[in-house]
Amino acid sequence: MKRTIVACFCACVLTGCGVGPTYQKPVAPEPAALDYKETGKWKQAVPKDAFNKGRWWEIFNDGELNKLEEQVAVSNENLKAARARFYEARAIIKQNQSAFLPGISGGAGVTATHQSDNRPLSHANYTDYTVPIDISYEADVWGRIKYNVNSSTAAAQATAADLETVNLSVHAELATDFFSLRGLDAEKELLDETVQAYEKTLELTQNRFKGGIASKGDVAKAETQLETTRAQAIDVTEQRAEFEHAIATLVGKPATDFTLAASALKMDPPDIPTGVPSELLERRPDIAAAERRVSAANAQIGVARTAFFPVLSLQAPTGFESASLLNWLTGPSTLFGLGPAAVLPLFDAGRRRAVSDQMRSSYDEAVASYQQTVLAAFQDVENSLASLRILDDEADVQDRAVAAAKRSLEISTDRYKGGLATYLEVTSAQSIALANERTAVQLLKQRTTTSVQLIKALGGGWNVSNLPSN
């Protein structure tokens, strides 16, 4: 009978089967179009090695930016925290995998006992020396352990994708702050040059006033124009300081110890290799993380279903027991036992059913989150493409406006020198010219930072094949 029980138990272990649902990747709302809607006249680049390998910032060909991005990879505290969360998730896999093997516990004890002299068959005094070793093993007949391992594995992969999302975000944030700072450097350079020009204009106006040609009001207007521009230059300096401090934090340095030399933004943003919409699902780490969480939720449904089946275990207590210390660990003192067991709750007031329903709802929630993440990803790309296309057109128009404003200023200045115009016409032309030049600089900065956002929306050269599989 004992042999039959053990044989049946082993057969159950060897022929164990899962009772949970087979995982199928959820359907994503993928567009049928072969190209992005907002590409328009915007020309995308041929894929570059640096971009495809994840070092996408090198596409901007800025040595200072490259150095800062390298520092982010090793010093950013948010990245360190995300990396620690991944290691934590990986350790949970090992915890769940340990349930595949038997658990062994042991100890040692000495018990001195004095029984009642009036107890039947009493041995009044004795000492019991024991070294119990308990071996227990849960047979994964219904797949509970397997589903837990699958769930924790998918969750760890999701955490790895989260790490890549944080990595992409902090690198993109650094590039955005860097180009915003360089754009402010360009504005500061423009304002400083304008201040120098206004100083010469003020000197001219003062000389004309001394000669009785210009009025005192003209001098006041020239002084106002000059000081207003100086104030604008100071305001730009304050904004630049904030971006410099933000960059310091991103690279893991105290803002007090970090300085970035001024250098005006001059270059046009590069063309970005977008690929086709069907590739986006493989390129975004946040999409990969959402899909892996769907897989983890699916495995948890399996875990919940196994609760409706008995837990089959094998107990094998062993060890040594003796009444004498001298023969405590000898062969005759050995004890051993072996016995299978099955446990099934007969009544739990619907708890297991509620847990199963909860896991099913969690799965549905994960699927909806995955599909929403996909939709948001396509929105991000289309938004960036539309912004780049429109900003490029706006920059072309703005360049013509700058050229026209400069011509207008030259004409107004010549008319004023010839006595054909008032100084009010000059100041008006100066204000218009400066405003248009600043707008052109700001558009260049906006186009560059939008290029960074497009790269981020495309996944920064990452691919789902980069997820850890082991």
d(CA 268, CA 395): 11
- Mean pLDDT in residue range 434-458: 95
Is pLDDT at 457 greater than 50 in this prediction?
Answer: yes
CA-wise closest residue to 404 among 440, 454, 350? 440
Note the pLDDT of residue 14: 44
- Mean pLDDT in residue range 63-87: 91
Which domains can be identified in the chain, with CATH numbers? Answer: 18-100+141-309+351-466 (1.20.1600.10), 102-139+310-343 (2.20.200.10)
Note the pLDDT of residue 8: 47
Is pLDDT at 38 greater than 80 in this prediction?
Answer: no
Note the pLDDT of residue 43: 54
CA-wise closest residue to 152 among 240, 208, 92? 92
Mean pLDDT lowest among 28-37, 216-225, 410-419: 28-37
Confidence band for 342, pLDDT divided at 50, 70 and 90: confident
Phi, psi of 138, rounded to the nearest 5 degrees: -95, 120
- Mean pLDDT in residue range 423-439: 92
Q: Cα 320 from chain centroid?
A: 55
d(CA 431, CA 233): 14
Answer yes or no: pTM beyond 0.95: no
Q: Residue for token digits 């207590």?
A: 317
Q: What is the DSSP string of 80-143?
A: HHHHHHHHHHHHHHHHHHGGGS-EEEE--EEEEEE--TTSTT---EEEEEEEEEEEEEEE-SSS
Give 319's strand partners: 132, 335
Q: Residue for token digits 């063309």?
A: 271
**Helix or strand or coil: residue 319?**
strand
Note the pLDDT of residue 386: 93
Note the pLDDT of residue 40: 61
Express each pLDDT in 175-226 by its tens digit: 999 999 999 999 999 999 999 999 998 998 899 888 888 889 989 999 999 9
CA-wise closest residue to 137 among 334, 320, 317? 317
Express each pLDDT in 97-155 by its tens digit: 888 888 888 888 888 776 766 666 655 677 777 888 888 888 888 888 899 999 999 99
Confidence band for 436, pLDDT divided at 50, 70 and 90: very high
Note the pLDDT of residue 5: 45
Express each pLDDT in 228-282 by its tens digit: 999 999 999 999 999 999 999 999 999 999 999 999 999 889 888 888 888 888 9
d(CA 245, CA 260): 10
Confidence band for 343, pLDDT divided at 50, 70 and 90: confident
The CA-CA-CA angle for residues 24, 364, 361, to 5°, reads: 125
Can you give the three-state secondary structure of 41-76, one letter per residue? CCCCCCCCHHHHCCCHHHHHCCHHHHHHHHHHHHHC
Sign for the CA dihedral angle at 203, 205, 206, 210 comes to positive
Helix then strand then coil, in percent of the chain rounded to 5, is 65, 10, 25
d(CA 95, CA 152): 9
Considering only the C-alpha atoms of the chain, give the largest distance between any 2 of them, rounded to a whole number of Å. 136
Express each pLDDT in 383-393 by its tens digit: 999 999 999 99
Note the pLDDT of residue 376: 95
Q: Which one-letter DSSP state was computed for residue 344?
A: -
Q: Residue for token digits 């410099």?
A: 244
Note the pLDDT of residue 11: 46
Confidence band for 449, pLDDT divided at 50, 70 and 90: very high
Note the pLDDT of residue 181: 97
Q: Other C-beta atoms within 10 Å of 188: how many?
A: 21
Q: Which one-letter DSSP state was computed for residue 467?
A: S
Hey, what long-range contacts does 349-352 have (CB within 8 A, 24 or more apart)?
352/304, 352/307, 352/308
d(CA 335, CA 134): 11
The CA-CA-CA angle for residues 369, 372, 378, to 5°, reads: 145
CA dihedral 68, 69, 70, 71 (to 10 degrees): 50
Confidence band for 4, pLDDT divided at 50, 70 and 90: very low
Give 113's strand partners: 126
What proportion of the chain, given as a percentage, has pLDDT over 70? 91
Is pLDDT at 467 greater than 60 in this prediction?
Answer: yes
CA dihedral 239, 245, 248, 253 (to 10 degrees): 170
Is pLDDT at 48 greater than 60 in this prediction?
Answer: no
Average predicted confidence (pLDDT) for the chain:
87
Rg (CA), the chain: 37
CA atoms within 13 A on the CB side of 459: 29
CA-wise closest residue to 189 among 391, 450, 440? 440
Sign for the CA dihedral angle at 181, 182, 188, 190 comes to negative
Note the pLDDT of residue 390: 93
